[in-house]
Amino acid sequence: MPENVNSSGKSRENAENKGKKLYLAVDSGGTKVAAVLYDSLFMPVAVAKSGSLRANTTPPALVEAHFSDLINQLGLEKGARVDEVNGTYGSNARKMFADFLDVGELSFLGEFKMGLAAAGVFGDGILALSGTGATIFTKNGGVTAAVGGFGAAVSDEGSGYWIGREAVNAAIRDSEERGPATRLTEAVISFMNAQIRGAYEPPFAGPVIPTGSSRREELRKAVFSIYRECDKTPVMQIASLVPAVLKTAAEGDGEARAILEKGGRLMAEQVVSAMRTVDAPAGLPVVLAGSVWRGNPVYFESFKMALAENGVENVIVVPRFEPVIGVLLTKMHGEGVATDTDFEKAYEGFLYRI
């Protein structure tokens, strides 16, 4: 059975106060970063959310801008003492924290442990992570495995990027009359047009887009806009289409619904593969993580159905908090400190809802 931090006998109020020590929890994803600066009683001093710090999805200038924004929100000045920075972040972010702050210890908890901890799971388990990218992590005894997560250049099956790309391709097929009609075409045009800054210019010397206002021309113009310089990379812009796909599916569009159903099945297939790799027992909890699950019942139900069809009846766990709070919960669990109503209220802005 998963062990929950609330099972501890020690209260947070009775935790040893170690003076004015500060700790920083970080969750740096492909689209955004979340951070919590907290004290020895695990209470927030400052919280921040900004754009991604990942060099593989974000241009260097934007990484710098996002880091500066994050630091400003946290109220930290150059050389400020932070006793520990812990969580998930890349080597570039690690260097920025080390150069800007006086850090006692730079630790890396990782997406897997953070995600499980956010659901109160501190041992073996499976994490079905689907955000900009998607990866299945699993641990059973001393054996760990990761399935998927090969990045946008390959596929990232079932991820936000995968869903957005499938939607754009469905819209292209529709507009060129070589695929089913879908309202995704209008959804993609509307979303992409909102991203355009300034007059349109073709991104390369190629076929000239004719003047006019046909649906095909509007889509072509909208899709090519992702290659313009702006505050999001093409991968981030495509992944950001997920809410539009959810809305279109909810309105009854068959193509949009089919994409979400397929995405859920692909995630389930990867879970089954991960379980087989570590010989996982039926009782191992499957914890959800990432933005794609939120408000996405079609995807979720397809995922559950595909697991059942493969004979998997593991308990699916929706975490209480966003992964960044998993850093605090891991530390609290290690010190035998329980959560309480004050803790829940203090971090209600980081509650995880699907």
Q: Same structural domain for residues 185 and 214?
A: yes
Q: Same structural domain for residues 22 and 151?
A: no
State the average pLDDT over residues 228-255: 90
Q: Same structural domain for residues 330 and 291?
A: no
Q: Same structural domain for residues 46 and 12?
A: yes
Residue 277's H or E segment, with its range, is helix 254-278
Q: Same structural domain for residues 218 and 335?
A: no
Q: Same structural domain for residues 40 and 110?
A: yes
Q: How does pLDDT run across 259-280, given as a tens digit for each residue?
A: 999 999 999 999 999 999 999 9
- Identify the domain boundary among 253, 273, 289: 253
The answer to whether the CB of 249 falls within 8 A of the CB of 263 is: no
Predicted pLDDT of residue 234: 87
Task: Please name the amino acid found at residue 172.
Answer: I
> Taking the CB of residue 60, how many other CB atoms lie within 10 A of it?
9
Q: Same structural domain for residues 81 and 148?
A: no
Q: Same structural domain for residues 175 and 245?
A: yes
CA–CA gap between residue 299 and residue 243 (Å, rounded):
12
Q: How does pLDDT run across 164-197, given as a tens digit for each residue?
A: 999 999 999 999 999 999 999 999 999 988 765 4
CATH classification at residue 328: 3.30.420.40
Q: Same structural domain for residues 39 and 180?
A: no
| Mean pLDDT of the chain, nearest integer | 88
Q: Same structural domain for residues 97 and 85?
A: yes
Q: Is the pLDDT of residue 327 over 70?
A: yes
Q: Same structural domain for residues 54 and 80?
A: yes
Predicted pLDDT of residue 229: 64
Give how many domains the chain has, as a whole number: 3
320 alpha-carbon distance from chain centroid: 15
Range of the domain at 237: 160-253
Q: How does pLDDT run across 148-163, given as a tens digit for each residue?
A: 999 998 989 999 999 9
- Identify the domain boundary among 222, 253, 284: 253
Q: Same structural domain for residues 178 and 228?
A: yes
Which phi-psi region, left, alpha or beta, contains residue 61 (left: φ > 0; alpha: ψ -120 to 50)? alpha
